[in-house]
Amino acid sequence: MNNYFSIQDIDCLNEWIEEAIKIKNKPLVDKTLGEDKTIGLLFFNPSLRTRLSTQKAAFNLGMNVIVMNFTDQGWSLEYGDGTVMDQGNSEHIKEAAQVVSQYCDVLAIRAFAKLENREDDYSENVLKSFIKYASVPVINMESATSHPLQALTDAITITEHKIIDKPKVVLSWAPHPKALPQAVANSFVEMMQRMDADFVITHPKGYELASQITKEVPIDYNQENALKDADFVYVKNWSSYEDYGAILHQDPAWRITEKKMKLTNDAKFMHCLPVRRNVVVDDAVIDSQNSIVIEQANNRTYAAQLVLKKILEKV
Ligand code: CP
């Protein structure tokens, strides 16, 4: 594997999940694989889990890690071809990507959607430009439209916790005070279509995700109906795709409560974190025995380690 850009880069999902669980059981088994190799983590947005779990994964493989917060520490980058650079941007992606490739054997990039222009965000210009101009492999640590490390983590976590072969998995929208990208939801939807799951999406009208991503996945606009008999409830806010980036409403009736969880088949509660308590989900749910959000966050290390291992085996 050259780059980990999306979950389409996973050739055999079941084998990947199995290998990630083996890594989790023996995280230091490949501790010399990355010896004398350096990964550069470039952040255009904040992070807790992605930053620390990817560093931990790299350490478990014996790698050196360089981290840079680009937004406040790097030169502002220009992506346009042939641009006369007499405005705000100081450095072109052509030099920046080639230069960081001199210092690193692998790059990992986080660059969220700006939520200003759907075509710009869905063109994935930032990640694709790094891939185009870097001379080393590139890992997506959440781009404008996808979060494939999170989706791999979620697949691992569901596999570990499922007690039937084909669990019912519900992705529920929930309110949030800020407009959030669709990246996590997009990748989760794509991942659930690759897993053996009875998968349903529930959200208020107007929050439909891109149809090229949801394809034939059923959408139930009645959250309580969707939650019935669920084995896993995955909760996430996203802003509108159709009215791009808009918050259409913040109806608190969509918050996940104990009463709603009682409709499920004793479902596990999942969220990628960070989460707004008592806005997205009640304390009583996230603090309950059925909440697996911390285990989910723990699995971020093993998803990242598996991806890094596959890349290192090729460099
Ligand atoms: N879930 C996730 O990507 O967390 P961070 O934004 O903290 O990295």
Written as one string, the DSSP assignment of 86-117 is -SS--EEHHHHHHHHHHH-SEEEEE----SS-
For ligand 1, what atom is nearest to the CA of residue 142? 3
Distance 48 CA to ligand 1 centre (A): 6
pLDDT tens for 48-93 read 999 999 999 999 999 999 999 998 899 999 999 999 999 999 999 9
Cα–Cα distance, 143 to 155 (Å, whole number): 19
**Model pLDDT, residue 220:** 98
**Could you tell me if the CB of 49 is within 6 A of ligand 1?**
yes
Distance 85 CA to ligand 1 centre (A): 33
Residue closest by Cα to atom 1 of ligand 1? 272
Cα–Cα distance, 300 to 154 (Å, whole number): 9
With pLDDT > 70 as the criterion, what percentage of the chain qualifies? 100
**Could you tell me if the CB of 272 is within 6 A of ligand 1?**
yes
Residue 196 φ/ψ, nearest 5 degrees: -85, 90
pLDDT at 158 over 90: yes
For ligand 1, what atom is nearest to the CA of residue 149? 3
**Model pLDDT, residue 310:** 98
Overall average pLDDT of the 154-176 stretch: 98
What are the C-alpha distances in Å from 87 to residues 47, 54, 120, 260?
29, 35, 19, 52
In which band, very low, low, confident or very high, does the pLDDT at 249 lie, cut at 50, 70 and 90?
A: confident
**Nearest-CA neighbor of 214 among 236, 189, 239, 232?**
189
Distance 43 CA to ligand 1 centre (A): 12
pLDDT at 300 over 80: yes
**Could you tell me if the CB of 42 is within 6 A of ligand 1?**
no
Distance 81 CA to ligand 1 centre (A): 31
pLDDT at 290 over 80: yes
In which band, very low, low, confident or very high, does the pLDDT at 253 lie, cut at 50, 70 and 90?
A: very high
In which band, very low, low, confident or very high, does the pLDDT at 301 lie, cut at 50, 70 and 90?
A: very high
Residue 206 φ/ψ, nearest 5 degrees: 105, -15
**Model pLDDT, residue 1:** 76
**Model pLDDT, residue 71:** 87
Distance 22 CA to ligand 1 centre (A): 23
Residue 159's H or E segment, with its range, is: helix 148-161
**Could you tell me if the CB of 296 is within 6 A of ligand 1?**
no
Decide: residue 248, CB within 10 A, 0-12 exposed, 13-18 middle, 19+ buried.
middle
- Please say whether the beta carbons of 206 and 177 come within 8 A: no
How many C-beta atoms lie closer than 10 Å to residue 169's C-beta?
25
Residue 168: what residue type? K
**Model pLDDT, residue 61:** 98
pLDDT at 217 over 80: yes
Distance 265 CA to ligand 1 centre (A): 28
Distance 50 CA to ligand 1 centre (A): 5
**Could you tell me if the CB of 154 is within 6 A of ligand 1?**
no
**Could you tell me if the CB of 47 is within 6 A of ligand 1?**
yes
For ligand 1, what atom is nearest to the CA of residue 141? 3
Overall average pLDDT of the 173-192 stretch: 98
Residue 131 φ/ψ, nearest 5 degrees: -65, -40
Mutate to test the pocket of ligand 1, among 142, 292, 301 (most ligand atoms within 8 A of CB): 142
pLDDT tens for 100-122 read 999 999 999 999 999 999 999 99
Mean predicted lDDT score pLDDT of the chain: 97
Q: Is 294 helix (H, G, I), strand (E, B) or coil?
A: helix
Residue closest by Cα to atom 3 of ligand 1? 50
What are 314's two structure tokens? 């090729």
